[in-house]
Each structure stands twice: as structure tokens, then as C-alpha cells.
Structure 1
């Protein structure tokens, strides 16, 4: 399945046919439709999960969080996508803007769908154990786990693009002639003035020459006496339980016999050395850290998402402190 089939759930295709997704991104086939479907699916899923987050405070906060959570991911993508694209260009990658956007949208789609899959669990704890600190830490853990799985898809897609030479085109170009040379059969030209082994000598006919055949001694004696001797049929070694060479003394091997090759005595085949990781893959991990820092800081700026029940409703809070200090303070207060 290489094309984008019409399906109400794009996440199903991403999870079932991820190789088809990567091949479509490599070929840049109908990426606008694929990216649009992933964008719509992610926005709906994040809005549903945001409504669960804000439901801890009030229905108005649930509506506000349903609007702000998709905005959080999309604004973070808009801030960090140019950095990823320029990183690839600087280090020789051939990714287009549409390919980079589609790759990141795959990660965001997986993240949002996993988050909304955890929404019933979050809603269950909201009803049965309405503790603000625990509810906040639970949902931060859910979003972190979902984001890690989504970024795993991003690195897998970049690895596929690397295998197709889109991240390190120079290495792929240099590897192709080497593989063609290794697969070509080795042919040795005859030396000057030499005669090939299969060619007949000068003055000789091209007819095949019969090779001498070894005749057993008993058969020779019988032939001399005028009797017809029948050579005994060889008994297979597996019938007698003895090795194939046990009936013959050392140095008296019959023609055509050779000692059996032991599996442990065969020469070891050298495995191919792993390809060197391009600089674009290393910078991808740096970009992921950058994406995480920008996303957490933007989430702190757009808060509240949960809504402290001890405070009145507010669309935004004053900017003070940071996300990580708030998480540590919440853990300490549990």
C-alpha cells in the first residue's frame, strides 16, 4: 500500500503501514492531502484531550484547554520546523519543506492519538480521585510518554530517508559503485603468450581425450581369466553407521572422495560494516531536545490548562517561574 487510501483514521494507516508512509514521503506523493489529514486528526484528538484536562476546574476551562492544547503543538511546530529544515540543508540533505513537515506531523499525530487514548484513564482518576497535584502529574506523564513514542516514529522515518540517500547523498553515491564492483564476477585475463587451459594445443585435434580410469585389482584379475566381474556397489556411510572414509586406509582414498566439510571448520563470513551515521541524524536528536524545551516553555506561557480549583478562571496567567520548577514543587507537595 503505497498511496494514501481514503480512510477515516489516518493513525490506523500510520501504525499498520508505516513503511508505506515513509515511501510516500520519500516519493513526495500527494503529501499535501496526507499532511492535511494528519493535521485535522491531531487537532481533533488534542482538543478532546485538552477538554479532559480543563474539566478539573470548570466547563469554561475545559473549552479553553480544548482550544489551547492544539495551538500549543502547532505553534511549537511553526517555531522549530525552520530549524530542522535549515539543519538538513547545511549538512547536505535533500529534504524538501513538505517532506520535513510530513515527518514531524507523523510524530505529532502519533503523540496526539496516544494522548487521546489515555483520556478515559485521565477522566477516571478525575472522577474517583480529584486531587489537583496528582491529576496534574498524571497528565504530564501521559503527555511525556506519548511524545516519546511519537518522536520514536520521527527518528524511524529519518532513518528510512537516510537509507534512501536523502540525508547523506554523497555517501549513497559513493556506495553504489562499490556495491556494483563487489557484485561483479572476477575475471582474470590470460597472460601474454599463454594458452588457455581449455584450448587445444597446436597440431592436436579438438576431440576430448579420455582420462584413465582406475580399475580395481579384482576386476583386472577377473578380466584376465575371461570372467565378467561385477564391481561391488558402495554402501552408504549412513547405513553402516561409520564415516564415509572409515573403509579406506590413509593415503588410499578412491577417486572422487573428499573428507566431509565440518560446519565449524568453514571460513567465517565477514559481516558488512554498519554505515556511518550522517550529521543530519545527529542534529535530529539535538532538534528533538530543542523541540521539547520550546514546547514546555510555550506550555508554561499558555497556561492554565488544568486550572487550579483555588483560583478563579483566567484565560492566561502571569509569566513567573518555569515549567520544571513547577513540576518539582508539585512533586514535593504530594
Structure 2
């Protein structure tokens, strides 16, 4: 699909050709248009799904839920964005504000489109089994599942950006290595051997050249996984990373966890503040409820009442 295709079909490009999306974000190319397309498609999808949620109470609730659900995701992004960008700088990542917004919008768009794909199922249970507690838990589960899939896309995007060096501090010298425990040498293939430095071999009693002994503390490439074959420049050979040796966690994963936690806490509390989305059929229409308790306590009460 063309990068200039209709905005509402951007989800097809994300699902079929996500590599081009990541490449566009990496190159910071035409991100205003890309973000606008994702914003339009996710807003429409969330509005449709919100309307299904609100129909459990009334047509008026369906209308307000169609407005509230897109607001929930987009206002959460607006609240979290300054903090997300600050953590981006703290962890040494080099993402611009546009790249950060585009990356998060990919996850929101996938979440919104998957949620609207579940809308017929939600509507089916609304018609055939109109139980308020069950309907509420069903749709919370749908949104949670959709969000998990969206986070998988976010994880994939973070990995690509990490590979391109956008989640690591800028370096002006070769990658640094850190001292660690000795690495057990792995069997060396013929093609992995390199010529020894001049003067490195020593002579034994028969006059044959013998390689110099490897140092007691070779170096460990930061970020290598246990069992991975890495080049040891001191020993002059490839070696396997030993198990049980702690290595530096990639900044991309730490940054991802911070983003997820921040979005989760802000989003759930904002959802609780904007409620009702469903609307108890035994209660009259209300645009907002009084702020009391929190989202997690209500979920536990609903499960206990089933």
C-alpha cells in the first residue's frame, strides 16, 4: 500500500508492511501526514466501538461514549507525552518528539482497529445476554486484549529503532567493552582464525610456534546474550558468553517498560474519571459519575458480584 493512501486504511499498511512504517519513523519522513492518518483512523474506530458500549444504556449514552472513548486514548497520550519524551532523554535515546508520537500512535491505531473488529461480538452479547456485569467484563477484556496486541507492535518498533541506534546515546568512538569474568573459549572454525600479531608466538623446545596464553580476564561485549559467540580482541578468537554473567540491559527495553507503566496507570485512572462508558440500565443517564474509588477496586467488585 502506498504511503499516501487514504488515512482510514493506514491500518492495512501497518499490518501488511510494518517495516516501511518503522523505516519512515527512523528517517523522520513525512511524519505529520503519517500521524494524522493514524489519528483519524483510530478516532473513528474508537468512536464506533464506544457507541456499541453505550447502547447498553441508551442512544444518548451511545453518543457520549462514542466521544469519550477516543478522548480517553488521545488525552492519555497528551498527558503522558511530555514525561515520555523526558524519559527518552534520560535513557539516552535520540528520538525526536515527532518520532515518539508516531511510535505510540502505531500502538494506539492497532489497539483501536482490533477493538472495533470485536464490536460485532460485543453487540451480539448485548442483544442475546444483556447482563450488565458480564457485558462490562467482556468489553474490559476486549480492550485489554487489543491493548496487548498494540503493545506488541510498540515493542517491535522499539527493537527496530534500537537496531538503528536511535535508542542509544550517540557515539563518536568504537563500541566500548566492559571487563567481566573469563569467557570459556568455544571451538574455533578455520574461517574464524585470524593471523597472530608479529612477535606474539613463542618458540618451544622443538622451535615450533605456540600462541601466547590468553589473559586471565578477557573482555565481554556489553549487551551480548549468554551462549552468544562474541569476538574477544585480547585472546584473538571467538568465544561464547558464559551463563550467569550480568550484562547491560538495552535502553530500549527499559524505556518501553516505563512507557507501558505510565500509559497504563494514567489511562485506567482517566477511564475511571470519564465513566460511564457502558451505563447501568437501572440508572438514569449521566454524563459523568462522581469521582470515587478507583478502576481496579471496581473490577474486583464486579468479579466478586458475578
TM-score by length of 1: 0.70
Superposition CA RMSD, Å = 2.7
Alpha-carbon distance in 1 for matches of 2:58, 2:172? 56
Partner of 2:5: 6
Alignment of 1:1-334 (within 5 A): 4-7=3-6, 8-170=8-170, 174-175=174-175, 276-334=248-306
Question: Alpha-carbon deviations, 1:83-130, whole Å to 9, x = none?
Answer: 111111122211000000000000000000000000000000000000
Question: Alpha-carbon deviations, 1:283-330, whole Å to 9, x = none?
Answer: 320220121111010000000000011111010011111111111111
Structure 2 portions without partners, runs of 5+: 177-190, 200-237
Post-superposition shift, 1:186? 5.4
Q: Aligned in 2, Cα 1:123/1:91: closer, same or farther, shift over 3 Å?
A: same
The answer to whether the 8 Å contact 1:165/1:171 transfers is no
Alpha-carbon distance in 2 for matches of 1:288, 1:57? 32
The answer to whether the 8 Å contact 1:165/1:172 transfers is no
Alpha-carbon distance in 2 for matches of 1:131, 1:52? 15
**Greater RCO between the two (CA within 8 Å, min separation 6)?**
1
Alpha-carbon distance in 2 for matches of 1:69, 1:137? 16
User: Which is richer in strand?
Assistant: 2
Alpha-carbon distance in 1 for matches of 2:154, 2:44? 21
Please tell me whether Structure 1 or Structure 2 has the larger radius of gyration of its CA atoms.
Answer: 1
SS in 2 for 1:4: coil
Post-superposition shift, 1:52? 0.1
Alpha-carbon distance in 1 for matches of 2:100, 2:39? 14
Partner of 1:215: none
Structure 1 portions without partners, runs of 5+: 177-182, 192-268
The answer to whether the 8 Å contact 1:88/1:280 transfers is no
Q: Aligned in 2, Cα 1:190/1:56: closer, same or farther, shift over 3 Å?
A: closer
Aligned residues: 252
Structure 1 residue ranges, 4+ long, deviating more than 6 angstroms after superposition:
187-191, 271-275
Post-superposition shift, 1:75? 0.5
Post-superposition shift, 1:175? 3.7
The answer to whether the 8 Å contact 1:64/1:315 transfers is yes
Q: Aligned in 2, Cα 1:35/1:184: closer, same or farther, shift over 3 Å?
A: farther
Alpha-carbon distance in 1 for matches of 2:22, 2:171? 20
The answer to whether the 8 Å contact 1:51/1:66 transfers is yes
